[in-house]
Structure 1
Amino acid sequence: MTLIEQPNITAMQTEASTVRYLNQYRCPYCQTEWEDVWDCACNDRCPDCNKEIEPYESVLIDGESVETESPVEEPVLANATPEGMNRRFVASYEIDYVHRVSVGITADSPEAAQEIAEQAFNDATIWDDTATMPLLSDEYLESGDESLLWECVAVEQLPEPDHSVRQLKKEQAAMRVCRGLVEAYQHGEANGGSIDWDDLDQLIPLSLQALGKPALEIQS
């Protein structure tokens, strides 16, 4: 179990909040415990695994009251400038999708074809795109039930891109390498069949990125 100590002054305390609560959290996924001050008994994100967790206890901070014309001064923010008030947020949205996969199957009946497809799914081979079971489509379709949900969470530092973004960048780099190879051979053909090595050398960093390898692995 990890105990996380949060700063005394949170992002929400910089707002003109009327009351504040000390919320206690315990993550059931990684057993991390932490506390934070908010203007309500709201959910918070686990600082370790980023799961949304409800507070198991929320206590009104003593001495808090509705804001008046002479609010309590915050010494920590006394010298804050407008530039210093800029905060970082992670804005996310979720949309319900239907994952539709279609494969080609030769069988005696629809039932037999479905049985073959189900077995391939269970064996994780349905995406192998073989001659006997070609992959015909693999797409994500919006469910169409107006399920768009937004979430905006205040953070001290923006997190590193996760595996989905890293994979997307690899695929984009691979496509740029493919286009670069085609262009290099087209230039070589136009120049009498000789390919300029510079056209190929500039593709090496992109190739390493597509493979998920650091540029330092380039051999001189």
Structure 2
Amino acid sequence: MTTSPIDANQSDCETMPQRYLNHYRCPYCQQDWQDEWDCACNDRCPSCDKEIVPYHSDLLGLNQESCAQLEQAPLPMAEAQATKKKFVVAYEIDYVHRVVVGIAALNETEARQLAEQAFNDATIWDDTEAMPLLSDDYHESGDESLVWECEVVENYPAPDYSVRQLHKEQAAFKVCRGLVEAYQQGEAAGGSIRWEDLDQWLPWAIKALAS
């Protein structure tokens, strides 16, 4: 049984990625904003440029405009019947890692020596009272250093530590947001928090604490 170009386009339309309306609130400057993405991803605060995790995401469904365009432009039969392969696509870009700490010292030389010693001891990120962490951020170097890589694979590899950590941070943020909302609802209801308002956040808490 052969597949017509129209049927193939409809199938592609059905498998197109979902769209999400992500809601963000910056804890640094209290800026609120929304943005549409194809996943519940982080975004840069339009006010202070900090990377922020969405506290809520609304499923919008398929990109209807792209879907309509796909249906109106039938693919060639050979292309419609082609078997898709799996690819791992990556890009690299040079970044500058800038860390700023506060140090009480007699002069600039002593302050720098204390910072360098803390860096060598891997304690410069501990954010202590004696050496508060003021900034830990990444900035693009400004050079044209974007490099793309593409490799065909049988199966996608498991997400690495950076992705697992991102998922844990997103889950933790959802739990925090859920607890705040549950207490607000409890306060509005006379001071009683319903278990069902808390139970929904337990799976996210377990995900945030997963090793």
What TM-score do the two structures reach when normalised by structure 1? 0.59
Q: In the TM superposition, what are the counterparts of 1:1-220 in structure 2 within 5 Å?
A: 83=81, 85-212=83-210
Q: Aligned pair count?
A: 134
Structure of greater relative contact order (alpha carbons < 8 Å, 6+ residues apart)? 2
Superposition CA RMSD, Å: 1.5
List, as ranges, runs of 4+ consecutive aligned residues in structure 1 with deviation greater than 4 Å. 80-84
The structure that is helix-richer by fraction is: 2
Shift, 1:82, TM fit? 5.6
Change (3 A) 1:204 1:105: same
Runs (5+) with no aligned partner, structure 1: 1-79, 214-220
Please tell me whether Structure 1 or Structure 2 has the larger radius of gyration of its CA atoms: 1
Q: What TM-score results when the alignment is normalised by the length of structure 2?
A: 0.61
> Percent identity of the aligned residues?
66
The residue type paired with residue 94 of structure 1 is E
Give the match for residue 54 of structure 2: none
Counterpart CA distance in 2 for 1:177 and 1:152 is 36
Question: What CA distance in whole angstroms lies between the structure 1 residues aligned with 2:111 and 2:164?
Answer: 36
3-state SS, counterpart of residue 135 of structure 2 = strand
